[in-house]
Amino acid sequence: MVTVHAETPPALIELKGIRRSYGGTGGQPEVEVLHGIDLQIHAGEFVAIVGQSGSGKSTLMHLLGCLDRASSGSYRFAGHDVSQLDSDELAWLRREAFGFVFQGYHLIPTESASENVQVPALYAGLPEHERAQRAAALLTRLGLNDKLDLRPNQLSGGQQQRVSIARALMNGGRIILADEPTGALDSKSGEQVMALLHELADAGHTIILITHDHQVASQARRVVEIRDGNILADSADHSVPIQSKAEPLRLDPSQAQYAAANTLWNDLRESARTAWRGMRLNRVRTGLTLLGIVIGVASVIVMLAIGEGARRQVLERMGTMGTAILYMGSRPPATGGPSGELTEADLQAVRELPEIRYVLPVIGDPTTVRYGSKDKEIYVFASSEQMPAVHHWPVEQGRFYTEAEDRALAPLVVLGHKARQHFFPDTPNPLGRQLLIGASPFEVVGVMSERGADSGAQDYDDMVFIPYRAGRARVYQTQTQPDYVVMQAMSSEVVNEAEAAIRTLLIARHGREDFGIGNAAARIQAEMATRRSMSVMLGLIAAVSLVVGGIGVMNVMLMTVKERTREIGIRVATGARQRDILRQFMTEAVLVTLVGGTVGVIAGLLVGAVLIVSNVPVVFSVSAMLGAFACAVATGLVFGYMPARTAARLDPVAALTGE
Ligand code: ADP
Ligand code: MG
């Protein structure tokens, strides 16, 4: 008699001639562990695969669960050729179809029971509150409602195994792959776990139980015996149709897309949460890594601020002196003899040089100045009407004297800000008053604006200014030539040419070099160049320290990946894609540098504040801070990428079974 079943459903799992070999590379001999396995498992079956240790059971389970690929043979899952699926589709299959239960539980030690159960749903994109609710419901169903927040090391073996079963059920767990689930448990806990598997089988889950224990295996509805990589016996009775309550699994790898709906923001937040926990657990190590980044960022900020401060200081000095200023005075020639005399005709000739804009002869000496009953030794500065232009220094009240007045020897005086306050403290308008300079009366025609602290030796605010010719005629009668001459070149670019032209001209006129020319602009420019190269060097040192910080991050990340190999295996087994793992570890690296960068910016500001208090000129720039911060984060990305990629590329089976 032949019973014909109207509807024999197609096998859920169909293995044909599956072989798996190890080795064969690096001089190691190739060893075949599975020698051509043929096996069909239907939805809703409760199958035990039994065999001695080393017979290839775990290897088979890893193949069934799509954690590993066969060397040859075909594996069809719900009619699809598994070898045709790419790694994302395999991840999707692991996530949606399989739930793994391992002998060693394989819980993530740093996460609570509830969080461990939630891991598969993370990669399925379930919203956070639904995830937590479902985990709590599952754990409650397995009698662990009071253990939700405990970590694996706070649970007994039996409890841990129940947590791992809850995790296997998190995404539905249509097919439970249990590798020696009772192997590490005492007999009572083992019985509880077996009872649970029975319950699940009754509820329609497909159970594939792997064990070396015939006693345990005999509890399954079907027993497949494996020895040395071959199937020895199979109790399958295909005459009985499988009564499955499970809905048929529709495998559509195009659905693998839907995890993408999981928002990037949620993914990042989840990664950041895990990363933050890891950082807290390894406080000392994290702190030391952070220190590298902090020092790097802080030194970039401080070095740049010091460089900028120095630059501004030089610029400021240039601003007050002008970048194209030359000084000249007579002096004895190096070859001996008396010093020369700079005549009016000499100055006129210099004035006519094309490189020269202004020529300003100056005579200045402390002289007694009197107004009413007040008198004071004050610096009387006799120079031409071009003085305000040369010094970029405006008149505040009244006016400056003119060239015509200078030529006419007009006795006019313009007061510096302090001089005005000294002589006319209560007079709002001192214009028109008469000052006695030396023995001659001078009329006040103007007041200069306040110049403020100057880098020069003299305080320009505490002077009075009189026309050059009137000064020579009325105050400095004995003076035959200017004390010195201030000249301005056409631009700072031609200042050296101007100096050379003046020298050539005057040597031709005097027949010898009986004068000296001071080139302030050249001095300042040289100083500027030195400071600039110093800033560059400081910047380089700072950048190097940032790179060193980055290497620290990489080092720690590599250690983290090594330590958490098993966790990575667990995440992959529960459905994480390579990019999920990559993102998680990148997030950790970036988080370290974000925290380090923030602390670094604060530290940089503090150091800068100390420098300001101790009178070192520093100028902070927001762009330097943002730049240093961005560099730190970029360092995290660059130096975190390699370890993260290492993590993402780990072989899941090796990660799960290795140390
Ligand atoms: P079981 O789970 O039945 O105890 P396994 O499937 O773990 O057996 O291992 C079967 C055989 O395959 C063993 O001889 C083991 O040494 C070998 N094997 C398993 N994994 C590897 C591997 N990664 N490289 C080399 N040999 C392996
Ligand atoms: Mg095994």
Q: What residue owns the CA closest to ligand 1's atom 26?
A: 22
pLDDT: is 391 or 298 the higher one? 298
Neighbours of 134 (CB within 10 A): 19
Our CA angle for 499, 504, 507, nearest 5°, is 120
Mutate which of 18, 19, 21, 22 for ligand 1? The one with the most ligand atoms within 8 Å of its CB, which is 22
Question: In terms of Cα–Cα distance, which of 639, 636, 648, 658 is closest to 563?
Answer: 658
Beta bridge partners of 33: none
**First and final C-alpha spacing in the chain:** 56
What digits encode the pLDDT tens for the residues 114-145?
Answer: 999 999 998 888 888 899 999 999 999 988 99
In this predicted structure, the answer to whether residue 101 has a pLDDT above a threshold of 90 is yes
Q: Which atom of ligand 1 is closest in space to residue 179's alpha carbon? A: 2
CA of 56 to the centre of ligand 1 (A): 6
Supply the pLDDT for residue 248.
54
Instruction: Work out the pLDDT band at 159, boundaries 50, 70, 90.
Output: very high
Half-sphere exposure of 366 (CA within 13 A, CB side): 7
The verdict on the CB of residue 51 being under 6 Å from ligand 1 is yes
Q: Are 362 and 381 in contact (CB under 8 A)?
A: yes
Q: Are 158 and 185 in contact (CB under 8 A)?
A: yes
The verdict on the CB of residue 229 being under 6 Å from ligand 1 is no
The verdict on the CB of residue 57 being under 6 Å from ligand 1 is yes
For residue 570, which amino acid is it? Answer: I
Token pair belonging to 192 = 């509880």
The verdict on the CB of residue 53 being under 6 Å from ligand 1 is yes
DSSP-derived letter for residue 380 is: E
Instruction: Work out the pLDDT band at 8, boundaries 50, 70, 90.
Output: low
Instruction: Work out the pLDDT band at 172, boundaries 50, 70, 90.
Output: confident
CA of 20 to the centre of ligand 2 (A): 15
CA of 655 to the centre of ligand 1 (A): 14
Q: Which atom of ligand 1 is closest in space to residue 51's alpha carbon? A: 3
CA of 582 to the centre of ligand 1 (A): 28
Instruction: Work out the pLDDT band at 393, boundaries 50, 70, 90.
Output: confident
Q: What residue owns the CA closest to ligand 1's atom 14?
A: 54
Q: Are 581 and 647 in contact (CB under 8 A)?
A: yes
Contacts of 212 (CB under 8 A, 6+ apart): 50, 51, 52, 53, 57, 180, 183
Instruction: Work out the pLDDT band at 455, boundaries 50, 70, 90.
Output: very low
Give the domains, in start order, of the chain with CATH numbers.
2-261 (3.40.50.300), 274-315+527-657 (no CATH), 325-523 (no CATH)
Beta bridge partners of 77: 13, 80
CA of 571 to the centre of ligand 1 (A): 22
Percentage of the chain beyond pLDDT 90 is 40
Q: What residue owns the CA closest to ligand 1's atom 21?
A: 22
CA of 227 to the centre of ligand 2 (A): 13
In this predicted structure, the answer to whether residue 1 has a pLDDT above a threshold of 50 is no
Q: What residue owns the CA closest to ligand 1's atom 6?
A: 56
Q: What residue owns the CA closest to ligand 1's atom 12?
A: 33
Pick from 314-323, 325-334, 355-364, 602-611: least confident:
314-323
Q: What residue owns the CA closest to ligand 1's atom 13?
A: 54
Supply the pLDDT for residue 320.
60
- Residue 32 backbone dihedrals phi, psi, to 5 degrees: -90, 125
Q: What residue owns the CA closest to ligand 1's atom 19?
A: 59
Say which ligand is closest to the CA of 227. Answer: 1
In this predicted structure, the answer to whether residue 42 has a pLDDT above a threshold of 80 is yes
Instruction: Work out the pLDDT band at 4, boundaries 50, 70, 90.
Output: very low
CA of 393 to the centre of ligand 2 (A): 91
Q: Which atom of ligand 1 is closest in space to residue 56's alpha carbon? A: 6
Pick from 21-30, 43-52, 469-478, 521-530: least confident:
521-530
The verdict on the CB of residue 25 being under 6 Å from ligand 1 is no
Mutate which of 35, 58, 651 for ligand 1? The one with the most ligand atoms within 8 Å of its CB, which is 58
Beta bridge partners of 14: 40, 76
How many angstroms separate the CA atoms of 192 and 55, rounded? 27
